[in-house]
């Protein structure tokens, strides 16, 4: 039970922030001797679903607004709703690279880059990227985005298929790199997480098995959802204050520690 609780907590806390949840699960395995359940794909999908619910709860007003205004634009063709309709299109376009490359390369990347040393290297790369954009705060709001921005951020999300590369970190770095304001970059990053996460769940739903682990999985799910919610709320405050440099320091420290030990 403790193992599942710890993994759920770790997954939940690290999923929204730019330090790689998948990388930290690998670190926990190696340093703490914690084994990921044999049915690890099913467990991972369940934990990601918990994080997805937390993201949906936090961004529910944005999702409702985008859905309503997107439909209104389709039927009324009013410029009042065009911004939200285009934002939806950008999310769709941004989802495509990770979706296609995920289907083609995810298993290959997981096998070739499996292990704690690649995670250490990936964390250093994440740290460098975060350090580069630590003081950025562009001028692009939701209405200023274009398809080029969506494609660039989409490919950044695809890079996060590499174990140890943070998904939120990659998309936020790319979003701020193309000139988005911090709040727009954060919103675009996590709304982009929703379709990718849903796609992953649908593709791997058959891998989930609760036989003999209903209670441990339930505990891990609740902890993952809870910590994802509060971690994302905390991270939104960090983004607002422009303190991404501290995540860069953390990635440098953990990455160098891993490489020095292994």
Is the per-residue pLDDT at 140 higher than 80? Answer: yes
**What would the pLDDT profile of 188-199 be if each residue is shown by its tens digit?**
999 999 999 998
pTM exceeds 0.95 for this model: no
Q: Which residue has the higher pLDDT, 139 or 207?
A: 139
Give the residue-averaged pLDDT of 10-19.
95
Q: What is the pLDDT of residue 37?
A: 55
Give the residue-averaged pLDDT of 17-21.
94
Q: What is the pLDDT of residue 166?
A: 94
Mean of pLDDT over the chain: 91
Q: How far is CA 156 from the centre of its chain?
A: 11
**What would the pLDDT profile of 148-181 be if each residue is shown by its tens digit?**
999 999 999 999 988 889 999 999 999 999 999 9
CB 123 within 8 A of CB 258: yes
Please tell me the distance from the alpha carbon of residue 192 to that of residue 220, in angstroms, as a whole number.
24
Q: What is the pLDDT of residue 35?
A: 67
Band (17; pLDDT cuts 50, 70, 90): very high
Give the residue-averaged pLDDT of 49-58.
96
When divided into structural domains, the chain yields a total of 1
Is the per-residue pLDDT at 102 higher than 90? Answer: no
Is the per-residue pLDDT at 41 higher than 70? Answer: no
Domain that holds residue 201: 1-30+39-261
Q: What is the pLDDT of residue 262?
A: 85
Is the per-residue pLDDT at 1 higher than 90? Answer: no
Please tell me the distance from the alpha carbon of residue 18 to that of residue 247, in angstroms, as a whole number.
7
Is the per-residue pLDDT at 39 higher than 60? Answer: no
């Amino acid at each position: 039970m403790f193992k599942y609780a710890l993994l759920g907590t770790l997954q939940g806390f690290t999923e929204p922030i730019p330090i790689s949840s998948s990388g930290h699960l690998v670190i926990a395995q190696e340093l703490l001797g914690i084994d990921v359940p044999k049915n690890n794909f099913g467990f991972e999908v369940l934990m990601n679903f918990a994080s997805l619910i937390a993201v949906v709860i936090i961004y529910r007003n944005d999702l409702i607004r985008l859905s309503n205004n997107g439909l209104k634009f389709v039927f009324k063709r009013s410029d009042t709703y065009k911004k939200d309709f285009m934002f939806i299109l950008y999310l769709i376009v941004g989802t495509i690279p990770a979706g296609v490359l995920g289907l083609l390369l995810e298993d290959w990347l997981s096998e070739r880059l499996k292990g704690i040393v690649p995670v250490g290297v990936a964390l250093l790369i994440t740290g460098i990227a975060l350090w580069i954009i630590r003081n950025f705060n562009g001028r692009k709001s939701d209405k200023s985005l274009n398809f080029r921005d969506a494609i660039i951020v989409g490919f950044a999300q695809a890079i996060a298929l590499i174990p140890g590369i943070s998904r939120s970190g990659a998309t936020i770095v790319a979003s701020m790199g193309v000139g988005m304001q911090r709040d727009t970059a954060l919103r675009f990053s996590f709304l982009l997480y929703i379709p990718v996460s849903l796609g992953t769940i649908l593709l791997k739903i058959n891998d989930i098995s609760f036989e003999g682990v209903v209670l441990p999985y339930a505990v891990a799910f609740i902890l993952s959802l809870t910590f994802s919610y509060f971690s994302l709320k905390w991270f939104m405050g960090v983004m607002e204050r422009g303190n991404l440099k501290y995540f860069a320091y953390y990635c440098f420290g953990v990455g160098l520690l891993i490489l020095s030990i292994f």
